[in-house]
Amino acid sequence: MKFFTTLFATETNTFVSAPTGLGSYEEYGIFRGDASTRDATGYGLYAVEVRKQLAAKGHETVESLLAFAQPLGRTVRSVYERLRDEILADLRDAGPVDGVILVLHGAMVAEGYDDCEGDVISRVREIVGPGVPIGVSLDLHCHFTQKMLDGADTIICYKEYPHTDAFERLTELIRIVVDTAEGRVRPVTAVHDCRMVGKWHTTREPMAGFVRRMQAAEQLPGVLSVSLGHGFPWADVPESGAKLWVVTDNDPALAAKLAEELGRAFWDLRHETAVPSLSIEETLERAMATPGGPVVIADTADNPGGGATSDSTFMLHAVVERGIGNVAFGGVWDLGAVQLCRDAGVGASFELRLGGKCGPASGDPIDLHVTVKNVVEAHSQGGLSGVRTPMGPCVWVQAANGVDIVLISKRNQVIGADLFTGLGIDLTAKKLVIVKSAQHFHAEFGPLAKSVLYVSTPASLSTDFANLPYRVRDLDYWPRVEQPGRPHHMAAPGELYTVDGRKMHLQRSGPAPASATQPTIVIEAGGGCASPTYARLQQALSAKYPVIAYDRAGMGWSEADDAPFDGERTAHRLHGLLEAAGVTGPIVLVGHSLGGLLNRIYTGLYPQQVAGVVMLDASHPDQFAMYEHPPESVFAAERVKRADFQAGGKPPPEQAPIELLFADLPQVIRQLKALYTPEALDTTLAEVRGLPHVARQAGASPDLGSRPLAVLWAKQPQALPPGADPAIADVQKRWPEFQEAHAALSTQRRLVCIDGAEHMTMVLLPPLVQRVAEEIDGLMVQIASGTRR
C-alpha cells in the first residue's frame, strides 16, 4: 500500500504583530521530498520514522514537503498558500494513495486563515475522497477545530509537556491509519470542550496522574486513542482552548461517554494544576535561599517557543543590579551582539550593549563589560525525542561576577542543556541557570536542578489567562469565569457572516457547484429548530450536492434581535447570508414545517434565484387560525429547565432519545446540547407569536408557477401532548388537504406521502431521511434535465 506524508508546522501568537514570512521557514530548511535524507537529525526525523515504520509493514511512502518555522505572528498569506499548494500538488502527482499521514502543529494561523490545519486537511480530503484514511499528528498546544474533525479520520496529539512523546504518538497514528486502510478498524471521534485556557505541566502531579489515566483508558476494549489538546493561549481564534477527544473503533457512544468523563475529570483538577508563577523579586529571593545549586529559573514570558522575541532583559537587569554572581543566562537572540563578538574573537573584552531591541516587551538594552569566552559557528541543541535544533552562530560571553550569557543567532527556546555546555559552560557549578523557555527545558534541566522556579516578567507572553485581550474567541472560559455559565457551550461549527448588523451562521457541506448553473440546496428549519436538527438530512444530500443549512436570527449560532418575527425580513437576511458566503447561483429551497411557509415568501421575493422548492410536511397558512398556541407559562417552565441544564444540572429526560437518534453523529449531540438554552427558547416563543403574521405573508405570496416542486408529507399524525388544544386534531384531519393545496402551487409538482413517517421522524430517522433524499434527488434530476413531470 502507498501512504503520503508531509510536515508543515508553526505555532502562531496572534498578539505578535511581526509576521511569519518565508525566511522564518527557510531558516530551518524547506525540504521537498528529501527531508528524510537531507535533514535526518532535524525535523526530517519525522519523515525518517514514517518511512521506517511503513517499510517494516511492507508499505511505500511518498514524502512531500517539510516546512517548519519558529513561533511568531501570523504567517504571510502568500507564503502559507504557496507551501500548502505545493503539498496538494505533490498529493495529486502521487496518484491514488491508500492513506495520508499529516504531521502538523494545530495552532498555525495565517493572514485570512484562522485554522490553517483545518484548511489543509479539508483540501487533502477533497483530493483523496471519502474512502482514504487521513491521520493527523498535532502538537499538544493545538486548537482542535470542527473543520479538522470533519476532514480527518484520526487526530492524535502529544500527551506530555514537555513533548517527550512525539514519536510514540507518531507510531500510534501510523498504526491506526494503516489498520484503517487495511479494514481492521473504523475510527470515530468524540470531543469534549473543557472551557479552559492555561498551561498544564505534565512533569508533576496531578497532571502526571491524569496522563496515566488517559493511557489507562486507551487499554479499554474498542478505544484507539485518547488526547488532551491544551490549546495555545496566545492565539485569538474562535475554537481555541483545552479540548479532550477520544477515538474508538466504530463505537461513537463509547467515545462520547469517555470524552465527557475524562473532560470533566480534567475540569475538576483546574485549581490544582496551575503553574506556580512568582514575581522577579520573589523568584530571586527564593532561589538565593535554596541551599546549593543550580536553581533553574524559567523566564516563561520571553519564551520564543510561544512567539516571544527572546531578547528581554528584565531578569538580567535584576541579577546585575543585585550583584548576584555565578549565573548562566540564555539564550538571548541578538544578531548584532553575536556579530560584534564573532568579529572581536575569543578572548576579546569590551563594552557590549545587548537585548532589549525588539519592542517594549523586550525591556531596555543592558550595557555590560564582557569577555568573549567561545564562539561556535554552527551551534545546535538537543531537542525533544532526539531532534536536534540548529541555533546558528552562538557566543558565550562572560560579564562580572561570573555571569555567563549565551547569545544565539536563531531564535529558539532553550531545550537542551548542551546549548550551554556545548559552548563550555558548566551548569552544575552554577548557582542560578536562567532559561528563556516555558517548559520544554524541563526534560534535561529538571534532573540537574536543586529547584525549578517559574518567573513572571513583563515580556510578551502573559500568563494572566483570565485577562488575555481576546477579541475573537468566546470569553466564557475558566479562569476568566470561575464557573462558565454554559458547560455545554461550543463554538460555531460552521461559518459566521455579518448580515444586517448581526452574526449569522451556516453549515456548508458537499461538493462545490460543478458549474454556475448547478443549484445549491438550502435547508430552512422548522419552528424552534436549529441547523443541527437537520444534520442527517444534510449528510445524505451532501453526498451528491452542495448543501447549506443555516440558523435564523436567535437560533443556533446566529445572533438574536428584538424585532418581531417576520417572514420577509427572514428571507432578506437569508439572501444576504448566501451572498456573503459566495452562493450567488441558483438554489433549491428545502423547507420543513414552518420552513415551507418561509420558502414560499423567499421565492416570491427572489424568484430568479430559486430553481426548485421542496416542502417537508410543511405548515399551511390556514392552520394557525384554527387553534390557540400554548400558554406562555409552559415556556416559562421549560426555560427554567434549560437554564438548570446549562448551569451543569442533570440532562432532562428528552435528551435521552436525542442521544439514541444521533449515536452515530456524536458531534450533533454536542451541538444540540449546546443549543438547549433559555435564549433559544425565547426565540422559539417569538416565532410562535409571529406565526399568524408569517402565515398571512406566505398566503399572500405568488404561486410557484412552473417551478419544480416536491411536496413530501407524513400521513402518520404526531401524538398530541397532554393538555394540547383539541383543535389541533382538526388540523391533523385536514393535513392531506393542506398538502394537496401546497402541490397546487406549481404546474411541475410531485406529491408524495412518506410511508411510516411522522412530522419530525421524516427528518431524523435514517430510513425515512434516505427516502426523503431519494425524492429530492428526483427533483434535482428534473431541474438538471429541464423536463416536466
DSSP state of 446: G
450 and 516 housed in the same domain: no
Q: Which of 49, 43, 259, 36 is nearest to 175 (CA)?
A: 49
Domain boundary among 268, 303, 326: 268
Domain assignment present for residue 336? The answer is: yes
Element (H, E) at 359: none
Q: Where are the beta strands (DSSP E) in 383-447?
A: 388-399, 403-408, 432-435
Helix (H, G, I), strand (E, B) or coil at 206: coil
Q: Count the neighbouring beta carbons within 10 Å of the beta carbon of residue 720.
A: 12
243 and 390 housed in the same domain: no
**Average pLDDT of each block of 10 consecutive residues along the chain (789 residues)?**
98 93 95 95 94 97 97 97 98 97 98 97 97 98 96 98 94 98 97 94 95 98 98 95 97 94 94 88 96 96 94 96 97 97 97 93 95 97 86 97 97 96 97 96 95 92 89 87 69 88 92 91 96 96 96 94 94 96 95 97 97 97 78 80 85 89 90 91 92 95 96 82 71 92 96 94 96 97 76
**pLDDT for res 787:** 55
Domain boundary among 208, 241, 268: 268
**pLDDT for res 482:** 75
402 and 536 housed in the same domain: no
Domain assignment present for residue 317? The answer is: yes
Helix (H, G, I), strand (E, B) or coil at 740: helix
Bridge partners of 72?
A: 12
Q: Which of 233, 783, 232 is nearest to 544 (CA)?
A: 783
Domain assignment present for residue 273? The answer is: no
CA distance 449 to 445: 6
299 and 347 housed in the same domain: yes
Domain assignment present for residue 575? The answer is: yes
Domain assignment present for residue 499? The answer is: no
Residue type for 660, please?
A: L
Element (H, E) at 651: none
**DSSP-derived pairing of the beta strands 451-455 and 295-299:** parallel
49 and 119 housed in the same domain: yes
**Which triple of cell numbers denotes residue 622?**
390556514
Domain assignment present for residue 500? The answer is: no
22 and 138 housed in the same domain: yes
Domain assignment present for residue 497? The answer is: no
* Alpha-carbon distance values, 154 to 217, 238, 242 (Å): 17, 22, 18
Interior angle at CA 431, CA 446 and CA 295, nearest 5: 30
What's the count of helices (H) and strands (E) in the chain, helices before strands?
Answer: 24, 25
* Alpha-carbon distance values, 220 to 135, 165, 657 (Å): 21, 21, 26
**pLDDT for res 789:** 39
Q: Which domain holds residue 576?
A: 506-785
CB 194 within 8 A of CB 244: yes
Q: Which of 754, 757, 755, 766 is nearest to 660 (CA)?
A: 766
CA distance 324 to 317: 10
Count Cα atoms within 13 angstroms, Cβ side, for 414: 35
Domain boundary among 442, 462, 482: 462
580 and 512 housed in the same domain: yes
Q: How far is CA 683 from the centre of its chain?
A: 28
63 and 209 housed in the same domain: yes
CA distance 602 to 609: 10
**How many domains does the chain fold into?**
3
**DSSP-derived pairing of the beta strands 495-499 and 187-193:** unpaired
565 and 706 housed in the same domain: yes
The whole-model pTM stands at 0.64
Residue with cell 532535524: 42
> Which H, E and C letters describe 457-520, residue by residue?
CCCCCCCCHHHCCCCCCCCCCECCCCCCCCCCCCCCCCEEEEECCEEEEEEEECCCCCCCCCCE
CA distance 368 to 362: 17
294 and 226 housed in the same domain: no
CA distance 192 to 719: 35
Contacts of 147 (CB under 8 A, 6+ apart): 115, 118, 119, 121, 122
Helix ranges (H only) for 371-437 are: 418-421
> Which long-range contacts (C-beta less than 8 Å, at least 24 apart) are formed by 718-724?
718/758, 718/759, 718/760, 724/630
Domain assignment present for residue 476? The answer is: no
**Which triple of cell numbers denotes residue 727?**
383543535
Residue with cell 520544554: 440
**Is the sign of the CA dihedral 337, 342, 346, 350 positive or negative?**
negative
338 and 251 housed in the same domain: no
252 and 307 housed in the same domain: no
